[in-house]
Structure 1
Amino acid sequence: MSKTNKIGNYRYRILALLMFATTINYFDRSIIGVMAPTLEKMFGWTNTDYANIMISFKVAYAIGMLSMGGLIDRLGTKKGYVLSIGLWSVFGMLHAAVRPGFSVIGFAAARFGLGFGESGNFPAAIKTTAEWFPKKDRAFATGLFNAATSIGAIAAPFVIGWIVHENGKNWQIPFLITGVLSAIWVFLWLRTYKKPEAHPKVSKEELAYIQEDSEAENEEKLPWKAVAGKRQTWAFALAKVTDAVWWFYLFWGAKFLAETFDVNIKNIALPFFVIYILADGGSILGGYLSGVFIRKGWSVNKARKITLLICGLIILPVAFVAITDNKWLAICLMGLGAAGHQAWSANIFTLASDVFPKKATASVVGIGGMVGAVAGIVADFALGSVLDQAGNTGYFWAFLIAGSSYLIILGFVHLIMPKMTPMDENLNLIEG
């Protein structure tokens, strides 16, 4: 009998629910990116119009990351997660009510609500992972649920290609599907979730395994300003600037392929499948790799940062996407970049729970997510303007930055946080 069977594995049921929630999150988030070329033609949007709609999402996401992260720490994971998914589901479905006469402002308003609700997913999921997995397993667990972002992104073009016509007929239906999926998730979550120490289905052996490398924490809430005042928070936040690159793939990837290689709504599914299946592999392998290094006796600091260095090197070739005239080479390079990003992301998310106590994790992730959203806003504004003024040459600079930014950012993260010394429940460093 395996060790896992002896100690129990209820934590993986919780992880499965995190994967389900994240799949819904990214299916909802990806719909507009997949349909962007079609919606632009239907509603007569310019690149700047589309950028402004994307900016609306990210402004709300940035605001939501600050407020939802702290709110989830106060409410607890169970209630906080339900609040988040409930909000994003309502606003996701409201996209279907937008009419042509006010398409830009209508989509911007719906995206704003969607962004605020979706901002709670990752703070809640990272907090749940910290509650249910020991440090040595957190990057792998994070990699697994983070891989669900790609499942959602893969599902979106297949569902849309099946339902939506090239002329845009039935475009509202994909926005409504997530409401049904979200209702199912909420039912399962409310039936399933409790903290491991209070869960009747968690054995003593599994609880001991979950808590074997964690410090006991009191229930006293930490003020937001205490977390915001730590340089470790801003090291994590700086690493999250790379969210702008991921959102570039997600929201502008279909437009790039449509404008450069004439890929349309009916044949976008296979390119997106290739890109995001590679991203899935990167997320899982990236999380697994740092765990392997830790099991070899490496410090958490060395294991995470060497893995991040490998990720940055893997991502470098994406800088050449815009200068190739081969569609499938471009797609594979985008997939390589997406794989490297997801491996990076799995380890970056884990930095927060490696260093901070569990009760502060959602707040730290929220601050980092806010910084990533602001970076995405700047990128959208710049790219939309350049594409309208200079044509597709704007994509050259976008991919150049996407390929080179990770190694530069990693250098600064190391300068700010040379050692990943964990903190106790009062945010004091635990030496030794």
Structure 2
Amino acid sequence: MPEVKVGRYRWRILAMLFVATTINYVDRSIIGVLGPTLKDHVFHWTNTEYSNINAAFMIAYAVGMLFMGGLVDRLGTKFGYAVSIGIWSLFSLSHAFVTRAMGWVGFAVARFGLGIGESGNFPSCIKTVAEWFPKKERAFATGIFNAGTNVGAILAPLVIPLIVANDGTHWQYAFCITFVFSAIWLAIWLSTYQKPERHKRVTKGELDHILSDTAVENAERLPWASVLPKKETWAFATAKLSDAVWWFYLFWGSFFLHAQFGLELKGLALPMITIYVISDAGSIAGGWLSSYFIKRGWSINRSRKTTMLICAIVILPVVFATQTSNEWIAVLLIGLAAGGHQAWSATIFTLVSDVFPKKATGSVVGIGGMIGALASAGANLGLGRVLDNTGKGGYFVAFLCAGMLYLVLLLAVHLIMPKMTPRDENLKYVS
């Protein structure tokens, strides 16, 4: 019997997720790249005021995660994702209209709106991957779209110094660069996206491949409250506490390099790009590794958790980032840790679709994202105040926590969810 040819349209859908996530992270990363310049030369913020701006984003992201994940599950990925990217694009543009008279409060309002919109990105992406990929490909697919976070974080320090001077001249232009790309993406998404079961470009062979290890689900909606009591939801939420570390790198990495080594905007470009190039490789490698273990016959539980353990060990050396006088050693240590985090992130996102039915993934990712964002907001507010009171010595504690946290979280995840038993469309365990 001739072998049925499996189509590849799902990879085009994945490419769209990658592009949207890249746009998302360019918007999110601009404040981290421009932060020292805006603080010292334009608005003259304190570290506490800058932390308040970041906390506004994180709190909005937490609130948004709670309802945007459920919104994506109710509206579906096509329209739920469209609402998300529409909101974040408008609020990203609004940063350019903040005046000196508005001060940090004006930026906090713009960041709050940005956080609401951007909170829909990962619930939408994870749900789309669950709809378009079989379980054995999901970690790799998640690693690829998640790599867009690093590409966005690379593009920001690459492009911004070309249009903004070290003294902050033309800083407003930095917040306008993604609006057109977002509009184009949105038009393509709305005009082309459908579920694979209804998509005209999906062959029967590809659809059979997509559904090969997943049961067909009914159309009944699952409210987020139904997944809230499940221990697997809280295992994922526990793993997402690591978001506090990632956002520390994203929003405070340039401040650390500025304080420790005196780097200004244009001097920060290459170190920041290096960090996120390394983290990009980590995102793809982490997704590939657990998929590789599964293809070798390992259980999903063993594959995912072994990958998480490797990530936690790779991240540990970042505790020495403040102990070197060589900026490039510090950059490489942070880059290695950021790469480990992204591999960790790609793996834990896949835990959701491994355990929960497709129609619940947006809600579960939303709840976990909310917990991670609230933890990040608390850590960010604390760091800003510590730095104002103690100077750059506060970074030592920050990097110590950043290096040790993942091993603690992995232990907690394993204790909460020792076996990754899947749940069916009614959230009952699959026997």
The C-alpha deviation readout for 1:184-214, integer Å capped at 9, x for no partner, is 1001111221000000000000000001000
Task: Give the letter for the 1:9 counterpart.
Answer: R
SS in 1 for 2:87: helix
Query: Where does residue 47 of structure 2 map in the other structure?
Result: 47
One-letter code of the match for 2:259?
E
Alignment correspondent of 2:415: 415
**Deviation for aligned residue 1:6:** 2.5
- Tell me the TM-score normalised to structure 1 length: 0.98
Q: Which amino acid aligns with 1:38?
A: T
Deviation at 1:103, TM superposition (A): 1.7
CA distance in 2, matches of 1:59, 1:145: 24
* Percent sequence identity over aligned pairs: 61
Query: Which segment drifts farther, 3-12 or 76-85?
Result: 3-12
- Matched AA of 2:331: I
Residue 286 (structure 1) aligns with: 286
Q: Is the 8 A contact 2:161 2:269 kept in 1?
A: yes
Q: Report the TM-score when normalising by structure 2.
A: 0.98
CA distance in 2, matches of 1:348, 1:4: 34
C-alpha separation in 1, matches of 2:221 and 2:75: 10
Aligned to 1:94: 94
Q: Which residue in the other structure is 2:352 paired with?
A: 352
The CA deviation string for residues 41-72 of structure 1, in whole angstroms up to 9 with x for no partner, is 11110000000000000010000000000010
* Mapped contact 1:161–1:267 kept (Cα < 8 A): no
Match in the other structure for 2:33: 34
State the alpha-carbon separation in 1 of the partners of residues 6 and 164 from structure 2. 48
**Kept in 1: contact 2:4–2:205 (CA 8 A):** no
Distance in 2, Cα, partners of 1:206 & 1:187: 25
Name the structure 2 match of 1:24: 23
Matched, 1:12 2:11: yes
- For 1:18 and 1:93, locate their aligned partners in 2 and report how far apart those are by CA, in whole Å: 21
1:109 maps to 109
The aligned residue for residue 250 of structure 2 is: 250
Q: Structure 1 residues 267 and 4 mapped into 2: Cα distance closer, same or farther (>3 Å)?
A: farther
* Structure 2 match to 1:314: 314
| Partner Cα separation in structure 2 for residue 305 and residue 387 of structure 1 | 35
Q: C-alpha separation between the residues in 2 aligned to 1:357 and 1:71?
A: 16
Structure 2 stretches lacking a partner, 5+ long: none
What's the counterpart of residue 80 of structure 1? 80
SS in 2 for 1:428: coil
Partner of 1:61: 61
Alpha-carbon distance, 1:384 to partner: 0.4
SS of 1:394's partner is: helix
Matching residue's letter, 1:279:
S
Partner of 1:137: 137
Q: Provide runs of 4+ in structure 1 moved above 4 Å.
A: none
Q: How far apart are residue 102 of structure 1 and its match?
A: 1.2
Which residue number in structure 2 is paired with residue 297 of structure 1? 297
The question of whether the paired residues in 2 share the 8 Å contact of 1:72 and 1:124 is answered with yes
Deviation at 1:272, TM superposition (A): 1.1
Query: SS where residue 165 of structure 2 aligns?
Result: coil
Tell me how far apart the structure 1 counterparts of residues 160 and 183 of structure 2 sit (CA, whole Å).
Answer: 21
Measure how far apart 1:224 and its partner are: 1.7
State the AA in 2 paired with 1:99. Answer: T
Deviations 1:300-353 (A, max 9, x none): 000000000000000000111111111000000000000000000000000000
2:121 is aligned with 1:118 = no
SS of corresponding position for 1:7:
coil
The amino acid of 1:255's aligned partner reads F
Aligned counterpart, 1:381: 381
1:372-407: CA deviation from partner (whole Å, max 9, x where unpaired): 101101111110010000001100000000000001
- Taking a change above 3 Å as real, the CA distance of residues 5 and 382 of structure 1, as seen in their structure-2 partners, is farther
Aligned to 1:163: 163
Distance 2:235 2:3 in 1: 35
Q: Secondary structure at the match of 1:268?
A: helix
How far is the alpha carbon of 1:4 from its aligned partner? 11
Which residue of 2 is the match for residue 226 of structure 1? 226
SS in 2 for 1:425: coil
Contact 1:235 1:413 in 2 (8 A): yes
Q: What residue number does 2:267 align with?
A: 267
- Structure 1 residues 199-208 or 166-175, which shifts more? 166-175
Taking a change above 3 Å as real, the CA distance of residues 177 and 195 of structure 1, as seen in their structure-2 partners, is same
Tell me the CA shift for residue 223 of structure 1: 2.0
**CA shift in 2, pair 1:103/1:200, >3 Å:** same
Give the count of matched residue pairs.
Answer: 429
User: What SS does structure 2 have at the residue aligned with 1:20?
Assistant: helix
1:105/1:133 Cα in 2 relative to 1: closer, same or farther (>3 Å)? Answer: same
Taking the aligned partners of 1:354 and 1:263, their CA distance within structure 2 comes to: 43
**CA-to-partner distance for each residue in 1:142-168, whole Å, 9 max, x for gaps?**
000000100000000111110001111
Contact kept in structure 2, 1:271 and 1:331, CA below 8 Å:
yes
Whole-Å separation in 1 of the counterparts to 2:11 and 2:226: 32
1:50-95 Cα shifts (integer Å, max 9, x gaps): 0000000001000000000001000000000000000000000000
Whole-Å Cα distance in 1 between the matches of residues 190 and 313 of structure 2? 42
Letter in 1 for 2:369: G
CA-CA distance at 1:5 after TM superposition: 9.8
Is the contact made by 2:355 and 2:420 (CA closer than 8 Å) also made in structure 1? Answer: yes
Output the CA distance in 1 between the equivalents of 2:282 and 2:224.
33
Partner of 1:173: 173
| Cα distance, 1:98–1:65 mapped onto 2, change above 3 Å | same
- Residue in 1 that maps onto 2:237: 237
Q: Residue 209 of structure 1 aligns with which residue? A: 209
Structure 1: runs of 5 or more not aligned? none
Match for 2:240: what amino acid?
K
